[in-house]
Amino acid sequence: MVAAPDPARAPLTGREGELAGLRAALDALAGGGARVLTVVGEAGIGKSRLLGALAEQAAARETRVLAGRGAELERDVPFGPWVDALDEALGRSADRLRRALGPEVVAELGAVFASCAGPGEVRDAPVAAERHRLHHAARAAVDVLAAAGPVAIVLDDVHWADPASLELVAHLVRRPPRRPHLLVLALRPGEVATGLRDVLREADRAGTSTHLELGPLDRAAAAGLLTGVRDPELATRLLDESGGNPFLLGELARSAAARAGAATATAAADAAGGASRDGIPAAIAGAVGAELAALEPLALALARGAAVAGDPFDADLAAAAAGIDPGAFPAALDALLATGLARETPIPRRFAFRHPVVRRAVYEGLGAGARLAAHERAAEALAATGRGPVERAHHVAHAARAGDAGAAALLADAGRAVAPRAPDTAAAWWATALRILPADARDQRRDLLLDLGGVLADAGRPHDAHAALEEALALLAPEARAERLRATVRLAELGHLVGSYEPERRRLEAALASLGAGEREAEAALRLELSYSAFAQMDLATGGALAQEALRAADAAGSPVLRVAAHAQVSGVAALAGDEAQATAHLAEADVLFAALDDLELARHPRAATMLALAAGFAERLEWSLACARRGIAAGRAAGGGAVVLSLQVVETGVLGQLGRLAEADEAGQAAEDAARLAGNAQLLQWALGNRSWHALRRGDLESAVRLARLSAAQPVEASAISRTSACVLAAALLEAGDATAARSALLDAAGEELTGLDLTWAGRARVVLVRAAVALGRPDEAAAWAAQAATAAEGSPLRLVALHARLAAAEALLAAGDGAAAAAELGPVVAATAPAFPFEAEEARLVLGRALAAAGDRPAALVELTAAVEAFAAAGAERLRAAGVRELRRLGRRLTGGGARAAGERGIEALSRRELEVAALVRDGRRNREIAEELFLSEKTVEGHLARIFAKLGVGSRAQVAAALARAGD
């Protein structure tokens, strides 16, 4: 008799290296770490057994293990592995979750995890492109679970996980929870989605992951699994045929046992084992076929019903799918379990197949007709127990007949329910609904295609989305003019957001030519989108003319929201073209109209907020721009406009960075990056990554700045203002990292020597980078030439930031030439003029001003400027710039503590604060208290207080002595 080994319960032999890797990962976890462990190997190689060993070791260390698994035949069921792993644990911690995270975050979790959903709770669904909100909620929930001790989240068969689950895995790898945890992923080589594979590679490079690759067992270790095989010749053959795969070895041994015990089993095995079927090795198909052939009829029917019901499978649903009478079910279940094909799980009335390959072999062994009937019975059973469309959709999708309007409606409802958080699943269900819709259901087909286009865009499949929307447009009746024009604009918006301009321009112009005299609202919308397209390519003349035409049409139509958008577009183009009067006038008009809009109007056209936020930024009204962006985000979320919300998020991130609110900017930037990745929008991802790189550079994180800038520049988009801006950010990061040659090349390769295609502000930043690169390369003439180009470009521009960059470029070139006095003269007036609108960039220029004053020999003035800059950078968390300022102060003999604050009791010039230095310098210049108060926007009483402290720190008693002390400090 042959005793078949059970690899799931057999001792782990021949895996000493892998076990050592497990112990190392658990050691790191015990030490407070957060790591990712990937276990990679072919089917049956022992991944699940290794995960079992990890669970045993973790339990021995009092580490909580939360386990889930992807299922091959349920890849359209969203978040299946995560629900398996976390739902019960979240339910047990519900009170702690609510206290720690608040009701909104728990409600977000409740959309996926039933244990977090309150009774009868109605949750607002987010727009699909914002499903990162669920990811952030899940990350926070893991932190709460790990607060009581380390947690290991173990996900098996990740290669079979649904797309929504893979997105959550990728998020937690890229942005791991803070508390000690181990994320374990078991998967097959070459079968994981590209996005997750890229994230895992990033984690490998960052040193936050451990990779275990399981190969075949050596012959001695494999032979150790055959202790029950007495026939040496048979053992040798089994070892040869298995190739060191423990699962295959076990199945071959089972097949041998079946052959030894039953002639019918032998015949079945021979019949099933002739060839590989649907990717299942012939030996396994034969072994499972032999076991099935030996089952009594009811047990065989139950096995097949279970394969349809799922893995793990619910016993009652398996019986229903099999069509087994409830009275006969217990005996059938006992017979099935006795064979070892399936086994019990810790959850009552839930059972699992011995291995997913066994389940697949059973499922594929069913005839097509039998599979359809089983899925249909499963769907009916779920409906009878009150399950909703989402829970029934998987089976309905497999069983629905062509022309079944009811099934199509159910799949449509299920898709709408999961679309915000699992758009790929929704798209799959809607595609099936479209396939089975009755031929005459034109309206339902059109509506489903419109939904499908939106969800495909949010799932990162813009070309498929475009195709769906074009098909929907073709189904719109010719007389449905308004709907057709809205669909045309939507198609163009989608094309523009992924960087496709010329085809959409032609589409929009054709629609415009078809308009009648009275269709002014449609004309305004079409011309606005055409203007946006031209503006995105920095064709300001065309964009401005189209915006003016759109404004005339919007005025004639009387549409407040289109008037806001048109005024904003005219203002933004005018600002960049240097027409300050027109920019200011139209921005004021837009602001009045925007304030009067109610949120419902704005929600119908949230692009208006995008245009206004951008226009306010171009007009150097940053706080106003931020307020517009945030209101637009709220309105866009209410309307479900994912792409518009995403573009506003990126605008918000950039404005926060310009204001020097770097911590907020980084948090918002991570959210924008996550949303852009989920939306598959390469252009907005490029923009978001560029913003994050710029902020990292200012914080002093050069490694992140270069990495993010490279990722931004590498996005596959058409050349645009955004892509050239990305090149500018990369150049700045490379320059600070010490590679001036690469910095210069990156910028000039993207924009050319004339820096065409960059807006005025980024062109100014680019010229500063080029001046600094030329200085670093020892090319003073080239630096002077770039500074001259910057001065020419700034002529006539009313924008303070453009003037600042031109003067900064000149100052850097002059400093390199040794003329500190001339450099200081360039920068002094412009720093003060720029500070109210762009406080952070003014402080960056102030740092250069301090260097120039020091080079010119004006130590007191240099101390004032450098100290002010250091304190501003310390407050903003800009460590690189703060450190640069501290170095300059030390060269001048000034000692600072920490971020720039003086030590208690310190005396002399070094003891004066930034404001006290400013007051002292004005006293030296002969200003009276009232004059000082007016210049510094202080009260006279405040100036008196500063003077009292200045006298005490300098040890003087008169204004003349203050002036003398500053003069001595400058000697």
Q: What is the pLDDT of residues 643-692, one digit of tens each?
A: 667 788 889 999 999 888 888 888 888 888 887 887 777 888 899 999 99
At residue 690, the pLDDT reads 94
- Would the pLDDT of 280 be above 70? no
Give the residue-averaged pLDDT of 228-232. Answer: 76
> What is each CA distance from 44 to 5, 284, 304, 368, in whole angstroms?
13, 10, 22, 27
β-partners of residue 277 are: 280
Contact status, residue 239 vs residue 226, Cβ threshold 8 Å: yes
Residue 22 CA to residue 320 CA, distance in Å, equals 41
- Surface-to-core class of residue 330, CB atoms within 10 Å of its CB (0-12 exposed, 13-18 middle, 19+ buried): exposed
- Would the pLDDT of 505 be above 60? yes
The tens digit of pLDDT for each residue in 428-486 reads 899 999 999 998 898 899 889 988 887 787 666 777 887 888 888 888 888 787 788 87
- Would the pLDDT of 7 be above 50? no
Q: Token digits for 916?
A: 């006290």
Nearest to 645 by CA among 603, 695, 687: 603
- Would the pLDDT of 971 be above 70? no
- Would the pLDDT of 626 be above 80? yes
Of 252-261, 290-299, 493-502, the range with the highest mean pLDDT is 290-299
Nearest to 574 by CA among 524, 623, 535, 607: 535
Nearest to 165 by CA among 106, 84, 78, 105: 78
Give the residue-averaged pLDDT of 905-926. Answer: 77
- Would the pLDDT of 263 be above 70? no
Q: Which residues make Cβ contacts (< 8 Å) with residue 420, sequence separation at least 6?
A: 111, 125, 126, 127, 128, 130, 131
- Would the pLDDT of 127 be above 50? no
At residue 186, the pLDDT reads 92
The tens digit of pLDDT for each residue in 724-750 reads 899 999 999 999 999 999 999 999 998
Q: Which residues make Cβ contacts (< 8 Å) with residue 845, sequence separation at least 6?
A: 804, 807, 808, 811, 827, 830, 831, 834
Contact status, residue 607 vs residue 562, Cβ threshold 8 Å: no
Give the residue-averaged pLDDT of 83-99. Answer: 90
Q: Tokens 């041994």, residue?
A: 253
Contact status, residue 49 vs residue 12, Cβ threshold 8 Å: yes
Residue 814 CA to residue 819 CA, distance in Å, equals 5
Give the residue-averaged pLDDT of 402-415. Answer: 92
> What is each CA distance from 379 to 317, 362, 410, 785, 945, in whole angstroms?
9, 20, 11, 74, 80
- Would the pLDDT of 4 be above 60? no
* Residue 88 DSSP SS3: helix
Q: What percent of the chain has pLDDT above 90?
A: 30
- The DSSP bridge pattern shows strands 313-314 and 350-353 to be antiparallel
- Would the pLDDT of 206 be above 90? no
Confidence band, pLDDT 50/70/90 cuts, at residue 396: very high
At residue 864, the pLDDT reads 92
Q: What single-letter DSSP state applies at residue 119?
A: T
Give the residue-averaged pLDDT of 6-22. Answer: 72
What does the mean pLDDT of the chain come to? 84
Contact status, residue 81 vs residue 68, Cβ threshold 8 Å: yes
Q: Tokens 């299946």, residue?
A: 80
- The DSSP bridge pattern shows strands 342-344 and 350-353 to be antiparallel
Burial profile 831-845: b = 16 or more Cβ within 10 angstroms, e = fewer: beebbebbbbbbbbb
